[in-house]
Structure 1
Amino acid sequence: MDIETQPERKCDRRSLRSQRLLRRALAEELAESGDLARVTVAGLTERAGLTRRTFYSHYRDIPDFIERVEESVLDEVRTHIDAIAAAHLEDLYAHIDAAEPASGSVELLTYLKDNGELIGALLGPGGDPAFIEKLLVLARGVVSERMQTGIFPDALGTFFDYYLSSVIASEVGIVQRWFSNGLVESPETMARIMTVVAFVRPGDLYGKPIDINVPAYGLKLMSMKAAAHTTESDIPASERTEGN
């Protein structure tokens, strides 16, 4: 080993250790106070057994610290979601038929559970609502392009936009529920649930499934929207604003 690199590597290890201690302290602070707004540099460093100088050598302030912690978590989550989204629909159907989780889903949920103290605190009532929104945006961005591959064009537009929002919100909501329940179920069990839940329709639970021609329904909605827009454009602007 190059002797000149040893001090630098020791410094890197100390830096990583300090950041891990601060992340753990953040989770503990949130679990105890239940309010992200009450987190302070003094409280974090005292709990982590570090100096304020150490904190400021890595971060400008608490908002900067929170943002970078969240970015680190989201980068890891993105990697796992990319792996899940890479699967073909035929593969997903095969996994469901075999009561097996989608490829990559166990790994994602294992990561969430392994970092449950911090992620649970961010997702919880005292956490950061912006983190949940970032998670939704991340999942939507990764899944959207993949889901549109091979979709009948008439099913796109407004219908697809809200459908995707529903699916993403549902999956994130399941994760939040899992955390609020204390992560009782294993990542494998949760992965199986989340793999199939998007395909379950309310009627299925009552033995009365309903078949919907989604492309035809999407086309109908688009036609209705176009007709409404045309009708409104035919009305003089002065008349459209009189009742407002």
Structure 2
Amino acid sequence: MAQADYKCDRRSRRSQHALIGALTEQLGEGEDLSRITVASLTDRAGLTRRTFYTHYKDIPDFVEQVETALLHEIRTRIERIGSATLPELYRNIDELEPAPGSVELLCYLRDNSELIGSLLGPGGDPAFIKKLIDLARATVADRMQTGIFPGALGAFFDYYLSYVVTAEVGVVQRWFENGLRESPETMARIMTVIAFVRPGDLYGKPIDINVPAYGMKLLNLQLEERKGRTHE
């Protein structure tokens, strides 16, 4: 790379970093994302609007690119968690150890807590939360189906997966709301075991559900309902 190109690239990264810092500050101060303007962003970043438009079309494009970069980093860490097998998870739970990769993911979230917390907060971007849920769901969906009883597939598995992923994202949101008071290691241990906890377990009254049998019954019931609708 020529020296002039290197300086230009370094200046470009510095400008983008300043804009991200300005976005983080505004959201952190309670400014609603929908009210942030190019003028307010560049003024805070100490840049010209011309510099902003060199890199982005508008505020939505800027936010989209920022979120895409974050989600890329998050995806690589979720992939490691998603590759863990049930025997590995059971062993880690017995040994009070977190799922592989979970500490690394939560450390990344903590290290970027100002920006990510602002996007997850009340004045942030609801679409970012959905993107995060969809990303996690897509990343672990195939792996979670490995070895699963066929009768548990279909609607039952679809909603189960949504339940687990949405719940885990909700735990992360709660962690941010609590000011990240627990360490990433503690949160990783909590999140590793929480998906396996049933409400009755908290009261010493666990329920024994034969999930494969329940899945088959549910599947048969759905088929009967569909047949009934076709004959109406």
- Tell me which of 150, 153, 158 is aligned to 1:153: 150
What does residue 172 of structure 1 align with?
169
TM-score after normalising by structure 2: 0.98
CA distance in 2, matches of 1:53, 1:136: 35
Pairs aligned (count) = 232
1:138, CA displacement in angstroms?
0.4
- Tell me which of 134, 137, 151 is aligned to 2:134: 137
1:33, CA displacement in angstroms?
3.4
Q: Given residue 201 of structure 1, which amino acid in structure 2 is its aligned partner? A: R
Post-superposition CA distance 1:10-44 (Å, at most 9, x none):
11111111111111110111122331111111111
Q: Given residue 32 of structure 2, which amino acid in structure 1 is its aligned partner? A: D
CA distance in 2, matches of 1:34, 1:45: 15
Q: Secondary structure at the match of 1:183?
A: coil
- Tell me which of 188, 192, 195 is aligned to 1:191: 188
Post-superposition CA distance 1:24-70 (Å, at most 9, x none):
11011112233111111111111111111111111011010011001
TM-score after normalising by structure 1: 0.93
Report 1:29-178 matches (<5 A).
29-178=26-175
- Tell me which of 5, 30, 33 is aligned to 2:2: 5
Post-superposition CA distance 1:163-196 (Å, at most 9, x none):
0000001000000001111111111111111000
Q: Given residue 29 of structure 1, which amino acid in structure 2 is its aligned partner? A: Q
What does residue 206 of structure 2 align with?
209
Q: Secondary structure at the match of 2:226?
A: helix
Runs of 4+ that moved beyond 3 A: none
Q: Given residue 45 of structure 1, which amino acid in structure 2 is its aligned partner? A: T
Post-superposition CA distance 1:147-167 (Å, at most 9, x none):
001101111111101100000
Q: Given residue 137 of structure 2, which amino acid in structure 1 is its aligned partner? A: R
Q: Is the 1:34–1:125 Cα contact (8 Å) retained in structure 2?
A: no
1:233, CA displacement in angstroms?
1.4
What does residue 226 of structure 1 align with?
223
> For structure 2, which runs of at least 5 residues remain unmatched after alignment?
none
Q: Secondary structure at the match of 2:15?
A: helix
Higher-Rg member (1/2): 1
Percent identity between matched residues is: 67
After superposition, the CA RMSD in angstroms is 0.9
CA distance in 2, matches of 1:144, 1:217: 20
Q: Secondary structure at the match of 2:39?
A: helix
What does residue 241 of structure 1 align with?
none
